[in-house]
Amino acid sequence: MITSPRKHIIVSVTAIVLAVVVAAVLATVLGTASERVLTVFFISLIAVVGMGVYSGNSGILTFGHLSFMAIGAYAASLLTLPAQLKIATLPKLPEWLATTEMGLLPATLIAVLLTCAVALLIGLAIGKLEGSAAVISTLGLLIIVHGIAIGWRDVTRGSQTFFGIPREASLWVAAIGVIIALIVARLYRDSISGLRLRAGRENAIAASAVGVRIRRERLISFVLSAALMALSGALIAHFLGAISPKKFYFTDTFLLLAMLIVGGMTTVTGAITGAVTITIVIEVLRRFEGGFTLAGWDMPAIFGTTQIGIGLIILFAMFRKPDGLAGLKEWEERLFPGRPGTKAAPDIAQSAKAEPLTATGMTMQFGGLVAVNDVALTLNPGEITGLIGPNGSGKTTLMNMLSGVLVPTKGRFYQGTTELSGLVSHEIANRGIARTFQNIRLFDTLSVYQNVLVAALSTNGGKNAHGRAQAALTRMGVADHADEDAGTLSYGDQRRVEIARALACQPSLLFLDEPAAGMNRDETDNLTETLRALTRDLGLGILLVDHDLKLINQLCDRIAVLNEGHLIAEGTPQDIRNNPVVIEAYLGPNRQD
């Protein structure tokens, strides 16, 4: 379930428990006021990591998560509110609810489950949205739930105070809550689902092409984060004893978001750093707000200093640390780099689906432009097929259609006798067709190993994923870079990692879109050798798009030529070199060979 080294998890969990317990003990020693500050801090931190579970891993900023906090708060409060008070203040409650009165623990559990159910429905609805639409939809969620909380007077008392909630959320209750929340968030980040989601955050198209079902992973994290928000909501309600809808609206949304953004969305370390930083700044500044005397100088009271302080920190963070104070790595990942060695890497297993891919009538129309027009192509296992043509002739479009990135306007393609047309990219990846991209699409902030591991985990049911990942890295000669961030590698290494990632899918067919682009002659020759070995050893079929005709001629068994969307020639390199149509259309009159 967990993809990161066990050591990281053990260190992290131990530190979380220790830090929370030490802080709680210290606060107890310092007195009731400190206990209260820390209790509120703990409860806020639950909400911050809750938002981080979704926003951090999916990369979609959320403004709407306080609505789950509201649902959790009201649901739990309705269950713990003394029955007598419920009858007096909420006379229109259904009888079963009015007479229910339970403890904080069962009430919180029920509230969390209810919130999960709501989040599942909402997540299914807004999960289809991408980019800024996804962000704005969360804003809509906040406003709608706020409106419901105000309007549903029979249950929530409307915008009036919902009071009389038993004050049972003591410091230690909050401490247990925050320990659970931090551990859940930390484990999720490095769970299979969390890793896939982070890959999707880095590059959605590439993640999909290695078998990741991004929407499903998003939904999982959405529901999980809603559960944490509900926990936070239930606790804050039982700390304050009185809530109203405005507690779960813009003001608190921005405060909690500020904590998350200042600290760094993508890590639990970041959430903690942000919450601690902002809380300390607030606590320091607010003590000076009321005016003070320093060395005979009377400072007047300047209220609002804390808000200005928070504003300045956010500005500082945006200018100097756009990824947040904690950056993109957990502290234990920085402190103990490395991962479990699956050093004895067996070679990549041969894919079982060694069947030819047959495409007929492939057509892609973008508005009035026909990018690919009625192309038929067969790709055989163990054979390297080159796809060439002038710029804009439809090579990448054809490859995109065959890998499910684009849905063809017309045409079908089959693997053996199984139809693949109509399948989406992650399904095609699971049928043994893997690919690389013309403009490199790596998961930049993930390590090289994680890049490849995601692919292995998301295809073939994730069987022997570590072994496959290691084997793919070794095959492509990038195993030494396994612990480095993919985005920091040289261009040539990035190309190789991308191929390794595709290999980890255990494909029977590999699509390479300009794999030699940007490589020097030595690197290209090296690549030629590697690719040849892949077909030889594994029986892999390769579809190769490149402008480097030397590479194509050396490597390919067969070449297909596209021009203006039409397949104008197909044959051995020898045939193609001598084909007058190709010479005229593509190589031109100044042919040099």
* Binding positions for another protein, rule: CB under 8 A: 31-33, 36-37, 40, 88-91, 150, 153, 157-161, 163-164, 167, 236, 239-244, 246-247, 251-252, 286-287, 289-295, 301, 303-304, 306-307
Q: In the structure encoding, which two tokens stand for residue 189, read together?
A: 């980040």
Q: Give the separation between CA 146 and CA 140, rounded to whole angstroms.
A: 10
Beta carbon nearer to another protein, 108 or 306: 306
Beta carbon nearer to another protein, 289 or 523: 289
Beta carbon nearer to another protein, 293 or 439: 293
Cβ at position 171, least distance to another protein in Å: 12
Beta carbon nearer to another protein, 131 or 290: 290
CA angle 15, 19, 24 (to 5 degrees): 155
What is the edge-to-edge ordering of all strands in the sheet holding 357-366? Answer: 369-379, 357-366, 410-415, 418-419
CB 188 within 8 A of CB 266: no
Q: How far is CA 24 from the centre of its chain?
A: 33
Q: Give the separation between CA 429 and CA 416, rounded to whole angstroms.
A: 16
Beta carbon nearer to another protein, 150 or 204: 150
Cβ at position 322, least distance to another protein in Å: 27
CB 386 within 8 A of CB 559: yes
Cβ at position 503, least distance to another protein in Å: 53
Beta carbon nearer to another protein, 301 or 352: 301
Cβ at position 179, least distance to another protein in Å: 20
Beta carbon nearer to another protein, 247 or 426: 247
Cβ at position 92, least distance to another protein in Å: 9
β 384-388/541-545 pair status = parallel
* Gyration radius of the chain over CA positions: 29
Listed in sequence order, the DSSP H helices in 291-375 are 305-320, 331-335
Cβ at position 349, least distance to another protein in Å: 57
SS3 61: coil
Hey, which residues does 434 pair with through a beta bridge? 510
Cβ at position 268, least distance to another protein in Å: 23
Q: What is the DSSP letter of 583?
A: I
Length of the chain (residues): 593
How far lies 438's CA from each of 1, 425, 550, in Å? 33, 16, 18
Cβ at position 173, least distance to another protein in Å: 14
Beta carbon nearer to another protein, 308 or 335: 308
Number of helices and strands in the chain (H, E)? 25, 14
- Give Dmax over CA atoms of the chain in angstroms: 96
SS3 490: coil
Hey, which residues does 379 pair with through a beta bridge? 357
Q: Give the separation between CA 324 and CA 366, rounded to whole angstroms.
A: 40
CB 243 within 8 A of CB 73: yes
Which residues, at least 6 apart from 355, have a Cβ–Cβ distance to it below 8 Å? Answer: 381, 415, 416, 508
Cβ at position 139, least distance to another protein in Å: 19
Beta carbon nearer to another protein, 169 or 486: 169
Cβ at position 335, least distance to another protein in Å: 34
Beta carbon nearer to another protein, 152 or 336: 152
Q: How far is CA 412 from the centre of its chain?
A: 32
Beta carbon nearer to another protein, 163 or 414: 163
Cβ at position 301, least distance to another protein in Å: 6
SS3 421: coil
